[in-house]
Amino acid sequence: MFTKQSARRYPLFLATLLLYCWPLAHAQTDPLPSWNSTGPKQTIMNFVQRVTRHGSPDFVPADQRIATFDNDGTLWVEQPMYVQLAFIIDRVHQLAPKHPAWKTTQPFKGVLEGDMKAVAATGEKGLMQLMAATHTGMSVDEFQKIVTDWLATAQHPRFKRTYTQCVYQPMLELLAYLRASGFKTYIVSGGGVEFMRPWTERIYGVPPEQVVGSSVKTKFETINGQPQLMRLPEINFIDDKEGKPVGINQYIGRRPIAAFGNSDGDQQMLEWTTAGSGPRLALLVHHTDAAREYAYDRQSSMGRLDKALDEAHAKGWIVVDMKNDWKTVFPPQH
């Protein structure tokens, strides 16, 4: 009952309530619950507060709060091989019955026999042949369906969950936290743009128009009276290393104020981001957790982190130590 007496005491009652509940309320709204309270979390939250607080000398208007994220190894797992490479291998197996010559021709023979050394020996030319055979010759709509169907069932060999469940929970929280703080979050990945767009909105909350990636050329054709965009066996753009700032400028047309990566492929994106004036945030995920995920850096053929790690130390970019800075790695399985 709210009596006349309690009404008179109301201001005091409210103040007491606030005093007791504030720490709880605050804890409940921690935007990064899967991050330990170590340096990276503090630096990220300080940065976001500086650029979003009106009157702060570092305030950045919302339309300029562009944040770019690498995908492989930054948002989802890239070991024991890039997910897109697992897709290529599966597709070669699926398509092989229609291509009897593949049994005796590299690089297809190597893929079918699991002889990755033979595949690697075919070099860039071999990789392009695999790309062409699995990623081109169909319309963009058809390719979208192929990717969606594959991702619905294909499983990670170690974690026995679909690849879209092998995403990093702390990074999902970071994406959501930045968006809640008025940032526009982009993916800027060396992976194929049309390999990502069918699912990034559902998994990351990043819509197709905010995904930048590598691409093949496409051609507009009218087939049986229906306009189609056909995927051609020709590289259009490689969105990796020096290509990342090029892609950012080409697709977004603004310089990010925050960039997140995990390998030497992200070095130029972080350089480009931090070279702008005003407050900037650069972060590398360092895979140090063999128990929960993987531990790799300077020697890895996938996601090598070597020069960018040196530059991060020299320039004070955040280096996330996955083992110590993350409470959990993957989201709860559903």
* 58 near a second copy, rule: CB under 8 A: no
Q: Which of 54, 253, 299, 314 binds a second copy (CB under 8 A)?
A: 253
The answer to whether 53 contacts a second copy (rule: CB under 8 A) is: no
Give CA 320 to chain center in angstroms.
15
Closer CB to a second copy, 201 or 289, in the complex: 201
CB contact at 8 A, 70 and 267: no
71 binds a second copy (CB under 8 A): no
Task: Please list every residue from 199 through 218 that binds a second copy, using CB under 8 A.
Answer: 201, 207-209, 211, 215, 218
Helix (H) or strand (E) holding 86: helix 83-95
* Residues shown for the chain: 334
Tokens of 98: 């229609």
Look-up of token digits 């104020």: 257
- Angle at CA 47, nearest 5°, toward 24 and 303? 105
Taking a C-beta distance cutoff of 8 angstroms, is the pair 129, 110 a contact? no
249 within 8 A of 285, measured Cβ to Cβ:
no
Among 89, 116, 127, 140, binds a second copy (CB under 8 A): 140
Applying CB under 8 A, does 224 fall inside the site for a second copy?
no
Is residue 242 close enough to count as binding a second copy by CB under 8 A? yes
Which H helix or E strand runs over 143?
Answer: helix 140-153
Min separation Cβ 236 and a second copy, Å = 7
Region near a second copy per CB under 8 A, out of 48-56, 79-87, 146-154, 252-260: 252-260
Among 179, 254, 292, 323, binds a second copy (CB under 8 A): 254
| Candidate list 15, 152, 229, 290; residue touching a second copy; CB under 8 A | 229
- 32 vs 187, which CB is nearer to a second copy? 187
Structure tokens at 298: 């300077």
User: Least distance (Å) from a second copy to the CB of residue 245?
Assistant: 5
Pairing outcome for strands 318-321 and 258-261: unpaired
Q: Residue 240 is encoded by which pair of tokens?
A: 């990796």
**Sole binder of a second copy in the list 29, 153, 224, 226 (CB under 8 A):** 226
CA angle 235, 237, 243 (to 5 degrees): 140
Q: Which residues are CB-neighbours of 179 under 8 A, at least 6 positions away? A: 185, 205
Cβ neighbours for 245, distance < 8 A, ≥ 6 positions apart: 268, 269, 271, 272
Q: How far is the CB of 255 from a second copy (least distance, A)?
A: 9
* Smallest gap from residue 11 Cβ to a second copy (A): 29
Among 40, 170, 191, 245, binds a second copy (CB under 8 A): 245
| Token code pair at residue 230 | 């056909």
Rank residues 41 and 135 by Cβ distance to a second copy and give the closer one. 135
**34 is a contact residue toward a second copy (CB under 8 A):** no
Among 70, 240, 271, 293, binds a second copy (CB under 8 A): 271
Alpha-carbon span 89 to 84, nearest angstrom: 9
In whole angstroms, the minimum distance from the beta carbon of 67 to a second copy comes to 13
CA–CA distance, 66 with 260 (Å, rounded to integer): 12
28 binds a second copy (CB under 8 A): no
Residues that bind a second copy (CB under 8 A): 63, 66, 140, 184, 193-194, 197, 201, 207-209, 211, 215, 218-220, 222, 226-227, 229, 236, 242-243, 245-246, 249-254, 268, 271-272, 275
